[in-house]
């Protein structure tokens, strides 16, 4: 989808996001089933940082945290792979997506007081994470994952009309800006400098 405004669209494009769309947080299904998938630990990030379960709290706590806000703007980036076994390509895409989410966060931070950014799994901000022995070094810059918060990404992608699967030999990562409708509108109505 495209926005009428230029500021938000410019920031989304500058961060390299491929597609985006908005859903109501009340329409999001928070599921223990997704959390069970995290526990299988295919991504190898479970219990390793403050950005993933169990550090992010129970599914109910995640639901409450996200539903403090009214809207979720979902965005994605598609990365090309050499083939479907290209694990290195997937890892590089995951790293690049984290960077894109941070760039977007930095761009909108001066304009929004209350919001959350969610991204893909893990946190690579520090060489070694403090978890679980000491508090997170950068709690304002950590982006928890959609899945870690108990969200089925394929479900919200469908709701937001963002393509979940972009074809053979590609991997698509998803993130989100969670905020209130009035703040999203203000962001939309900002003038491009």
**Site for ligand SF4, rule CB under 6 A:** 49-51, 123, 125-126, 129-131, 136-138, 142
Nearest distance from C-beta of residue 110 to ligand SF4, angstroms: 21
Judged on CB neighbours under 10 Å (0-12, 13-18, 19+), 21 is middle
Strands 71-80 and 116-118, sheet pairing: unpaired
Q: Which is nearer to ligand SF4, 109 or 137 (CB)?
A: 137
Nearest distance from C-beta of residue 102 to ligand SF4, angstroms: 11
**Residues 185, 136: Cα–Cα separation, whole Å:** 32
Q: Which is nearer to ligand SF4, 85 or 138 (CB)?
A: 138
Q: Which is nearer to ligand SF4, 135 or 167 (CB)?
A: 135
Q: Which is nearer to ligand SF4, 100 or 160 (CB)?
A: 100
Q: Which is nearer to ligand SF4, 136 or 162 (CB)?
A: 136
Q: Which is nearer to ligand SF4, 96 or 166 (CB)?
A: 96
Nearest distance from C-beta of residue 101 to ligand SF4, angstroms: 13
Nearest distance from C-beta of residue 82 to ligand SF4, angstroms: 29
Nearest distance from C-beta of residue 30 to ligand SF4, angstroms: 22
Nearest distance from C-beta of residue 128 to ligand SF4, angstroms: 8
């Amino acid at each position: 989808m495209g926005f009428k405004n230029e500021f938000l669209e410019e920031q989304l494009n500058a961060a390299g996001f491929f597609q985006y769309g908005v859903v109501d947080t009340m329409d999001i299904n928070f599921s223990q089933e997704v959390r069970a998938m995290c526990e299988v630990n295919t991504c190898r990030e479970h219990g390793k940082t403050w950005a993933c379960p169990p550090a992010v709290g129970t599914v109910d706590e995640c639901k409450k945290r996200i539903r403090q806000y009214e809207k979720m703007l979902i965005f994605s980036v598609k990365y090309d792979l050499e083939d479907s076994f290209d694990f290195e390509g997937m890892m590089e895409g995951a790293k690049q997506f984290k960077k894109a989410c941070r760039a977007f966060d930095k761009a909108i931070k001066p304009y929004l007081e209350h919001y959350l950014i969610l991204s893909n799994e893990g946190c690579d901000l520090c060489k070694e994470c403090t978890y679980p022995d000491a508090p997170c070094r950068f709690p304002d810059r950590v982006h928890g994952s959609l899945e870690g918060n108990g969200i089925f990404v394929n479900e919200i992608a469908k709701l937001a009309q963002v393509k979940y699967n972009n074809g053979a030999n590609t991997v698509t990562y998803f993130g989100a800006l969670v905020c209130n409708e009035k703040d999203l509108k203000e962001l939309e109505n900002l003038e491009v400098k």
